[in-house]
Amino acid sequence: MILLLVVMAICLIIGIPIAFSIAFSIAISSLVYLQVNQSVPLPVVALRMVVGIDTFTLLAIPLFLLAGALMAEGGITSKIMRFASALVGRIPGGMAMVMVISCMLFGAISGSGVADVAAIGAIMLPAMKEQGYKPSFSAALLGCSGSLGTIIPPSIVMVILGITMETSIGKLFLGGIIPGILTGSALMMLSYFFAVKEHYPRGERFSLQEVYASFKEAILPLLTPIIIVGGILEGIFTATEAGGVAAAYAFFLSVVVYKKISFKRLYEIFFSVAKTSAVVLFIISAASLFGWILADEQIPQLVAHYILSLSHNY
């Protein structure tokens, strides 16, 4: 563990990106440990890293990332935000609530908190600054709201958790719906409290006509989480196949229906998603090697034994 932290610190100091610093520190510390103990030959190290990501279910990660990227580039974000603004824009702190609701809805499409923050933040942060919201408040709210993308299904984090813990991904998706909604509701209540305290401006007057018009515009993107979660729970397709369905549906909306993405831009999106997926899978493969060492050395059992020895179980 000390070697892991030292390697990570060195990687960060010399300017290696954080994602690669994490992967390098895990992989190098594991490799050094195995060589010092001379427990396994070098080819086994590479084999364990490959085995760690050699699973069909992990294919859901690049597919959901692709779906989120296509939705973000296809003008879906603005449609979702217009619908959210029509619902709560007039309430004190309405602009902040629009950010929370938009993150919830877009997170239910992309499955990625990072994509959530990037897509919503690029539009909402400048708009909130113009309306007088403090940058610190807006940034904090965006960070908290963006994390809803890891709770509300479909969530890439839940896919990784389901694979690692050998748990039903469908049940994890189902279990994330209510906590995600409750967390989003709590963030909106806090937004209302701070808006009243700081006298933030209200949005446009509530109009059923605008709600209907914005919902009609956003209905096709909003069907995405229903198709994904419903298909998994009904046993129509697996989590990985759901990622493929989401990517295909996002492609259909962005390229065919809304015609917002050119084929040249499509190549750039594919390339960007491939790079992001490679970073995520590299970290998972390194973590798999590290976890294999911990299991082989019975570290979890030793830690549990130490903790239990601190007290008596009556």
Other CB atoms within a 10 A radius of the CB of residue 299 amount to: 13
Token pair 């911990």 in the structure block, residue: 294
Distance CA 226, CA 229 (A): 6
| Residues 198-255: tens digit of each pLDDT | 887 776 677 788 888 888 888 888 888 788 878 877 778 877 888 888 888 888 888 8
Residue 312 has a pLDDT of 66
Q: How far apart, in whole angstroms, are the C-alpha atoms of residue 74 and residue 258?
A: 7
- Residue 27 phi/psi, 5-degree rounding, is -65, -45
d(CA 54, CA 153): 24
The answer to whether 257 touches 25, Cβ cutoff 8 Å, is: no
Burial of 41 (0-12, 13-18, 19+ CB in 10 A): exposed
> Where does the pLDDT of residue 182 fall: very low under 50, low under 70, confident under 90, or very high at 90 and above?
very high
User: Is 244 buried (19+), middle (13-18) or exposed (0-12) by CB count in 10 A?
Assistant: middle
DSSP-derived secondary structure letter, 47: H
Rounded Cα distance between 260 and 51, Å, is 39
Residue 295 has pLDDT above 80, yes or no: no
**Is pLDDT at 188 greater than 80 in this prediction?**
yes
Question: What is the total residue count of the chain?
Answer: 314
For the full predicted model, state whether its pTM sits above 0.75: no
